[in-house]
Chain A
Amino acid sequence: MDLSFTARNVLAGAAILGTVGGVLGCFTLLRRQSLLGDALAHAALPGVCLAFLLTGSKEPLPLFAGALVAGLAGSFAVLATVRWSRIKEDSAIGIVLSVFFGVGIVLLTHIQKLPAGNQSGLDRFLFGQAATLVERDVQLMAIVATVVLVLVVLAWKELGILAFDREFAASLGLPVRRVEALLTVLLVTVVVLGLQTVGVVLIVATLVTPAAAARQWTERLGTMVVISAAIGAGSGVVGALASASIPRLPTGPVIVLVASAMLVVSLLAAPERGLLQAWRRERHASRTIRRENLLKDLYRAGESPGGGAGRWEAPVAVHELMGERGRGPGELARLARGLAGDGLLDRSGDRLRLTPRGVAAAGDVVRRHRLWEVYLSRRLELAADHLHRDAEAMEHALTPEAAAELDRMLGHPRFDPHGQPIPRGGEEPGGADAADPDSSRPAP
């Protein structure tokens, strides 16, 4: 790709920032301090202005130093206010953020009106004009970022245990205060690093958003940090490229929007924690329950009252199955269609009849229900009238293995506590899994 010199600087800067932001963001996210970064970014403004007033220089290094000192002061102010007064953390962060920023604005506008003052150099430090990044800025960023990453790698174990269990870490003799101070210094450094690229308001997103997205994909801190850095760097690169190739597209906001889009995708589509997966699991579970309930009702309708062999040849009218469980005709028809499609049910008009395979599958559900009732009545000595509701839930949750184990443990009981026979499982083809819509479909 053909990139201008400026665009290459912006690209490099955004990638560097995304990487370190993503790494440190993981620790602040896990310590529930996501918004501290926001406060630190705003708190840096008066530092930049004071550094300029004191040195009269717009070189990055003194301004960087000023921002660092002010950011640390802001972080200390938050901690001190929370620790020593009744003000809660959210208010303390809000106060530091807005008051430091207000003071910064006063200084900035004051400088602007000084004879020597032309605030444009300071301005870009705060409101994020990535296009003003020059090679020297990028070099400085690279050096600082390397130092930050090396420190994180060195103190990896300490940062991890501090985030997970501070008190235990202290009991082991870890100097928790000092490690926390180190983390704060690193955080302020990254925030200051990001000011020029994405600006004061959006810096918080370079910390939180990649980390929040990465959290969805993994259950290991190391992997999370790597993914987070990748998402941060990736959104930085995409944002920089987009704003270089499309006119009037500011870099910072595009970076944040790309990262936010990745977060949304992660929240929805991550394999374990993803919401889509969770919804699918939930729907599948509820469908299985409804199918199994219908099978069970049909099975019961054919059982002979005396406990002898059941007869399931006679069809059952749909209206007889309504009422109980609050099923409407529409839902019954849908369930019956599904079960018929799996070969468990014959439908003729509004009359339903279990096929032999259906009888086996339904018997299995009933068997799990009644085994659980036996277990409850024997182990917990519950009265017979307390058993049914609990068993209603457990029959769907018991796996075939667990049911077999339960059967063995209870000594293969033949009757449930109400005196009804417990169907023997596993004799008919289809058996235990037949009620599962996904596994019962024959291979084409």
Chain B
Amino acid sequence: MSPTLVILLTGSAVAASCALVGSFLVLRRMALLGDAISHAVLPGIVLAFLFTGGRSALPMVLGAGALGLATVFLVELFNRSRRLKEDASIGVVFPALFSFGVLLISRRASQVDLDLDCVLYGEIAYAPWDLLLVGAASLGPKALWVNGATLAVNLLLVILLYKELKVTTFDPELAAALGFAPVLVHYLLMGAVSVTVVGAFESVGAILVVAMLVVPPATAHLLTERLGPMLVLAVALGVASALGGYAVARWLDASIAGAMAAVAGALFVAALVASPRHGLAARALTQHRLRERIAAQILLLHLSGEAPGQVVGRPGVGEGTGPAGTEAGLAEAPRPEAGSAAATRDASGRVPAPGAPPLPAETVRRRFGWSEPRLRRMVGRLARQGLVERRNGHLVLTAAGAAAVEGAGTAQLAHPLAAATPRA
């Protein structure tokens, strides 16, 4: 196997297994517990080193798994004692464990073949040369074996416990009521996170494991609504980050693991901006459109004279003003003269709606608290749609506008919630 292929395969395996368990961390709002575990496994790994005197995989996985679960347990212990909030519990546990690990490495430097820089940001470039030896025979690169195994374990976990993970993630109480043992599922998941982290530790380092655990799943979360597709997408994005990261690293002659995290971040930013449903652009646009529509509806409603509380002056205080508005404020507006219907008919044949008196634009503007450009834009748009006309500084509802309020629009206007719900 060529070194490049080994690196690519190992990186992809790390990314895929992290994405599988990381998706549940993100959905359970426990991303930072993943961060904590990825640091806190260090003493477990070091202790495994010290006890076995070498870097065999099994003791390391066991040691790290134990420390990972201990982290989760300690965080919950502090949390449940109600002396610390959850964020603080995480924030005090993992630095302490990490410090302990660093201390062990420094004190027993001769026995522990771990480089602290490697712990933090990993070195996947060495993966092809660290071989798994059984007796004298080489079975190929160790990192590939280890991460391939964790990927298999995680796949098995997600496939076998898909239903349980899903229910406990979205509704832990329901899950408990249905007999799904959410606590057990929680610790199984955290155990899987710990094991995944150990596997990835040497390849991408503690902090970049967090990138693989959190970033691709969060990106996938922006792109889809459903759990199944999210898992698939997260794995795909993770693998894409690994492959893209390798290319970038080659190009810049820089850290491969760092580049993988950077590419994952770039993919996240792209999704954040451009995701069709949850992207900032789409969101801003829909939001703007819907808000403008609400505002337009209210303007039309007021021009139709149907809006409640159509009062410009102060209403009689202490009177029960029901939904039927008074027309007190409309007296100021010049009403179309009875004989001048022909004069107000314009070229396009639009007729002012009967019973819809013109309102001074300035009155409308002040009442809505809008700026002049804002009103101009809004009226311009409604005029283009033929719903409103501007005449001598007054706004008039056209027949089409009245129909929009009365007819087709009634349902929406009567039920503003229905009108504004984005889902079709």
Contact = CB atoms under 8 A, between A and B. Distances in A.
Contacts of B190: none
A101 B100 contact: no
Given A105-B255, A253-B99, A275-B81, A201 B39 contact: yes
B92 A263 contact: yes
B263 to A, nearest CB: 9
Contacts of B259: 102, 106
B210 A205 contact: no
A103 B95 contact: no
A94 B99 CA distance: 20
B88 A257 contact: no
Interface in A80-119: 81, 84-88, 90-91, 93-95, 97-110, 113
Contacts of A208: 88, 91-92, 95
A205 B31 contact: no
Q: Which range holds the interface residue count of chain A?
A: 35 or more
Interface stretch (A32-40, A54-62, A165-173, A292-300): A32-40
Contact of B98 (A34, A95, A201): A201
Contact of A253 (B100, B120, B264): B100
Given A94-B35, A202-B98, A254-B103, A109 B87 contact: no
B384 interface: no
A249 B106 contact: yes
B258 interface: yes
Contacts of A228: none
Contacts of B254: 105-107, 109-110, 113
Interface in A385-399: none
B87 A35 contact: yes
A35 B95 contact: no
B211 interface: yes
B213 to A, nearest CB: 7
Interface string B218-231: 10011000000000
Nearest to B116: A127
A336 B206 CA distance: 58
Given A91-B218, A204-B95, A205-B96, A42 B207 contact: yes
Nearest to B214: A94
Q: Could you say which of A33, A102, A248 has the most chain B C-beta atoms within 10 Å of its C-beta?
A: A102
28 contacts: A33-B87, A35-B90, A42-B207, A85-B279, A88-B26, A91-B26, A91-B29, A93-B31, A93-B32, A94-B210, A94-B214, A100-B265, A101-B121, A102-B207, A102-B261, A105-B255, A105-B258, A105-B261, A106-B254, A211-B88, A212-B91, A215-B83, A249-B103, A253-B98, A253-B100, A253-B103, A256-B98, A267-B84
Given A254-B99, A257-B99, 4 more contacts: A35-B32, A85-B283, A252-B99, A260-B99
Q: List the 3 shortest-distance A-B pairs measured between CB atoms, nearest first.
A: A102-B261, A105-B258, A99-B265
Interface of B: 26, 29-32, 34-35, 39, 78, 81, 83-85, 87-88, 90-92, 95-96, 98-100, 102-103, 106-107, 109, 116-117, 120-121, 206-208, 210-211, 213-215, 217-218, 221-222, 248-249, 252-255, 257-262, 264-265, 268, 272, 278-280, 283
